[in-house]
Amino acid sequence: MTDHRSDAAAFAAAGAPPAAWSAPGTRSDRPKDPWSRFGWLMAVIWLVFLIYPVLTLIGSEAALPWVVVGWVVLVAFIVLYVVGFMYGMRNAAFGGPVPRRQWITFALLIVCALLSIPAEGGSALSFLPFIMSFASYGLTRLWHWLTFVASAAVTALCVFLLPGGLDYLSVLSIVVLLGVVNTVSTWLILRSSEADRLGLELATSEGREAVARDVHDLIGHSLTVVGLKAQLARRLMDSDPERAKAELSDIEALTAEAIGGVRATVAGARATTLVEQLASSRDALRAGDVALTVEGAPGALSAAQALTAAWILREATTNTLRHARASRVEVRIAPGRFVMIDDGPGPGTREGNGIRGMRERAAASGATFVVAAGESGGTRVEVTW
């Protein structure tokens, strides 16, 4: 499983300014994750590279009004970039529709860079890497390329055409290198997002097929028995009314049982997220006088992994209520790992349909499935990706 914070660290090491970290797949979406809460501080750290425009403004020989404008737009650029980074990290959908607010921020960043030219001259090129990264990770793929090409062209023209332009040759190398890094990293992020989407679709499809099998088996068996008993009741109606009544009572009970089974199966099918299934399992276990505790957050698993874990949790909950004779169940969730432990007598020697179904679901999602005795007794169900 991909570690989102490791991805962000890799982008930083490669030279990508912190707008790179606002894309899904490079951060955690859990609101209590320290990275989501304090990751914006890295944007402030990266702004140290604006020291060059600052030094230029301090020694600028431009007219005083332009120097004042230079300081104002520098501060505005910093505020816009940090605020835009924070908003993107919390709300942007990488590869999806771009919020109007991000387009406005991007335009204002360009305006700030242009207004700084009279006071800063060539040092205004220092704004380009930030603008490039904002376009790469906060806008669309098309604007990534447009901004990359435009920034490289403008920097090259300044280096080779302006007097003393060779002093900014290092800026040109940074722009080109950063453009390559942004191109590769955004491509990898998009590929990872697509793979996760396909995995979720596959897991959802397999889950629906499993529900269809459950309903088919349940209805098929129940209707077969109901049909036989109805025929028997019809034949006994005249010769043995009392027995016919008994058969009709059995039909009523079987019908109610089948309806209840269908409702339970459909309710389980609706719990397509791990959060919903945890709530459903908690209610079911509480009805059976079994306490449930959860360690970790569902957000530690990817969407496809969480869906598989939800199905396995559903089946494991059913097994616990039917066979475990437990009083307490503990669920542990960590990146790439899902564990459920009860305090019952432990696993049996025979593997039933429920365990086989869980094993098949885990294998379909590329996970390892283990059922064994717990550390302190009981049964331990563990899924590892």
The domain that contains 346 carries what CATH number?
A: 3.30.565.10
Q: Provide CB contacts within 8 A for 376, sequence distance 6+.
A: 343
- How many domains, the chain? 2
- DSSP class of residue 385 equals -
Residue owning tokens 């800026």: 171
Find residue 334's DSSP bridge partners: 337
Which one of 141, 170, 198 terminates a domain? 198
Q: Rounded to whole angstroms, what are the CA distances from 371 to 281, 321, 350, 358, 381?
A: 19, 16, 12, 10, 5
Alpha-carbon distance 110 to 107, whole Å?
5
Residuewise pLDDT in 10s, the chain (385 residues): 444 333 333 333 333 443 443 444 444 444 444 444 555 565 666 777 788 788 888 887 888 989 898 899 898 998 888 888 777 666 555 556 778 888 898 899 999 888 988 888 877 888 888 888 788 777 878 888 888 888 888 888 888 887 777 877 777 887 888 788 878 877 776 777 677 667 666 666 666 666 666 665 556 656 666 777 788 888 888 888 888 888 788 788 777 767 766 666 655 554 457 888 898 788 878 877 889 999 999 888 888 788 889 888 888 888 887 776 888 999 999 999 999 998 888 777 676 777 887 888 888 888 999 998 877 788 899 999 9
Asked whether residue 214 is assigned to any structural domain, the reply reads: no
Beta pairing, strands 291-295 & 337-342: unpaired
Chain centroid offset of residue 37 CA: 17
Comparing C-alpha atoms, which of 374, 371, 364, 370 is closest to residue 384?
Answer: 370
Find residue 333's DSSP bridge partners: 338
Beta pairing, strands 328-334 & 368-373: unpaired
Say yes or no: 45 and 188 in one domain.
Answer: yes
Say yes or no: 119 and 22 in one domain.
Answer: yes
Copy the structure tokens of residue 281: 């399992």
Which one of 198, 215, 248 terminates a domain? 198
Alpha-carbon distance 348 to 379, whole Å?
9
Q: Provide CB contacts within 8 A for 129, sequence distance 6+.
A: 17, 49, 151, 174, 175, 178
Asked whether residue 218 is assigned to any structural domain, the reply reads: no
Asked whether residue 231 is assigned to any structural domain, the reply reads: no
Say yes or no: 72 and 159 in one domain.
Answer: yes
What is the span of the domain harbouring residue 299? 271-385
Report the amino acid identity of residue 145. Answer: W
307 and 207 Cβ atoms separated by less than 8 Å: yes
Say yes or no: 306 and 185 in one domain.
Answer: no
Say yes or no: 191 and 285 in one domain.
Answer: no
Alpha-carbon distance 131 to 254, whole Å?
68
Element (H, E) at 136: helix 128-138
Say yes or no: 56 and 163 in one domain.
Answer: yes
Assessment of whether the complete model's pTM goes beyond 0.75: no
Q: Provide CB contacts within 8 A for 250, sequence distance 6+.
A: 229
Which one of 170, 198, 226 terminates a domain? 198
